[in-house]
Amino acid sequence: MTSRKTRQSYGVKSAPYGFLLPAGILFALFFALPIGYAIWLSLHKVEVKGLGLGRGARSEVWAGLANYTDAVTDSELLHGALRILGYGAIVVPVMLGLALVFALMLDADRVRLAPFTRLAIFLPYAIPGVVAAMMWGFLYLPDVSPFYFLLDKLGLPQPDLLDGGPLYGAMANIAVWGGTGFNMIVIYTALRAIPAEVYEAARLDGCSQLQIALRVKIPMVAPSLVLTAFFSIIATLQVFNEPTTLKPLTNALSTTWSPLMRVYQDAFVKGDIYSAAATAVLIAVVTLVLSFGFLRAANSRTKQEEAR
């Protein structure tokens, strides 16, 4: 009797761990282990002796935080970070603003061809980033672009979109073109979930369509706005496809234009996986801090508003 009882209680006690085990193993294998390996790599470096030719001339040694201090003090990496901040300052507001406007317009009463319009706005999202960047890149190149041909025929000035300030706009345009549809769908879905009686009440109170949009709809979809902003910030910090694809077309984009391009350059061109690992870890930390910092700030604001 007693032995059975203890066995039973033991079984019950360990059951949750048994259920957790598969997830735990997967977490360790595919999440903790690679991250741990990246951190381990970032703390090492290769040391070469003499000319570095022949057997045993290279050894992997402990580097401490040297790779991190190199990355933090590297001005090119800092400039890369500033460049994507400038890029993000264009992309995030424009993309989310457009997404919100489109979603509100589609949700308004008496809108025609809504399903078609929705699909048309969403469609660019289905096009792979590299293909989109290539397509826009060709449209930006003065010698092969139909737009430039038209501008030339009309005698209008032809801006150089692949250089200086306009380059940021040109790149942001690709991201906005590709990302607006997705964000619009997220916001639109949230709009559809608002119960109809809310609108009815608003209309009975004499609200116009515009007022409903500004006073009712936007506050009610605030959580999905926060979510889309969260995704957009992460995507901006990780920008890689567009500049890498446009790079061969212009002298204005360096191989280390964005921080992730720098990681790629270190790992696969210079063959220095140790610095690449350190920079990657740094980018991950910054992304985490920025995106969760944003979430926190947004959440505390909504809570404050609820308390009022």
Partner 1 sequence: MPFTKQHRRLVATATAVVLGASALAACGSSDDSDTQDASGPANLTYWTWTPNMDKVVDLWNKGPGKKQQIKVTVKKQASGDTLVTKILTAHKAKKAPDLVQAEYQALPTLVSNDALADISGDAGDLKGKFADGIWQQATLGTDALYAIPQDSGPMMFYYRADLFKKYGLEVPGTWDEFAETARALKKKAPDKDLTTFSANDSGLFAGLAQQAGAKWWTASGDKWKVGIDDAATKKVADFWGGLVKEGAVDNQPMYTPAWNKALNTGKQIAWVSAVWAPGTLTTAAPDTKGKWAMAPLPQWDASSNATGSWGGSSTAVTTDSKHRAAAAKFAAWLNTDKAALTALAKESGIYPAATDAQLSGAFQEPPAYFSNQADFYPQAQKIAKTTAPAAWGPNVNVAYATFKDAFAAAAKNKSDFGDALTKMQDATVADMKKQGFEVAE
Residue 163 in the binding site for partner 1 (CB under 8 A)? yes
Nearer to partner 1, 20 or 156 (CB): 20
Kindly tell me which of 138 and 300 has the beta carbon lying closer to partner 1: 138
Shortest Å distance, C-beta 154 to partner 1:
20
Pick the closer one to partner 1 by CB: 237 or 261: 261
Question: Residues 63-82, buried b or exposed e (16+ Cβ, 10 A)?
Answer: beebbbebbeeeeebeebbe
Task: Kindly state whether residue 53 participates in binding partner 1, applying the rule CB under 8 A.
Answer: yes
From the list 53-61, 118-126, 203-211, 285-293, the region that binds partner 1 by CB under 8 A is: 53-61
Q: How far apart are CA 11 and CA 103, in angstroms?
A: 53
Please identify, among the stretches 116-124, 222-230, 254-262, 283-291, the one whose residues bind partner 1 according to the rule CB under 8 A. Answer: 254-262
Span of 9-17, 29-37, 236-244, 276-284 interacting with partner 1 by CB under 8 A = 29-37
Return d(Cα 85, Cα 239) in angstroms, integer: 11
Beta carbon nearer to partner 1, 131 or 144: 144
Exactly one of 250, 284, 287, 298 binds partner 1 (CB under 8 A); that residue is 250
Instruction: For the CB of residue 268, give the shortest distance to partner 1 in the complex, in Å.
Output: 5
Q: Under rule CB under 8 A, which residues in 264-293 are in contact with partner 1?
A: 265, 267-271
Q: Determine the residue type at 237.
A: L
Rounded to 5 degrees, what are φ and ψ at 47?
Answer: -115, 130
Give the one residue of 144, 156, 198, 201 binding partner 1; rule: CB under 8 A.
Answer: 144
> C-beta of 178: minimal distance to partner 1 in Å?
21
Residue in 219, 215, 211, 210 with CA at minimum distance from that of residue 190: 219
Total number of residues binding partner 1 (CB under 8 A)? 43
Our CB check for partner 1 shows the closer of 18 and 54 to be 54
Pure H helices in the chain: 2-27, 33-42, 66-73, 75-107, 114-122, 129-140, 146-154, 164-192, 196-204, 209-211, 218-220, 222-237, 241-246, 259-264, 273-307
Beta bridge partner(s), residue 128: none
Distance between CA atoms of 169 and 246, rounded to whole angstroms?
Answer: 13
Amino acid 308 reads R
Judge residue 94's burial from the number of C-beta atoms within 10 Å of its C-beta, 0-12 exposed, 13-18 middle, 19 or more buried: middle
Output the six-digit token pair for 247: 């790079």
When asked if residue 127 is in the footprint of partner 1 (CB under 8 A), the reply is: no
141 part of the interface to partner 1, by CB under 8 A = yes
- Provide the binding-site residues for partner 1, judged by CB under 8 A: 28, 32-33, 35-37, 39-40, 45-58, 60, 138, 141-144, 163, 248-252, 254-256, 265, 267-271
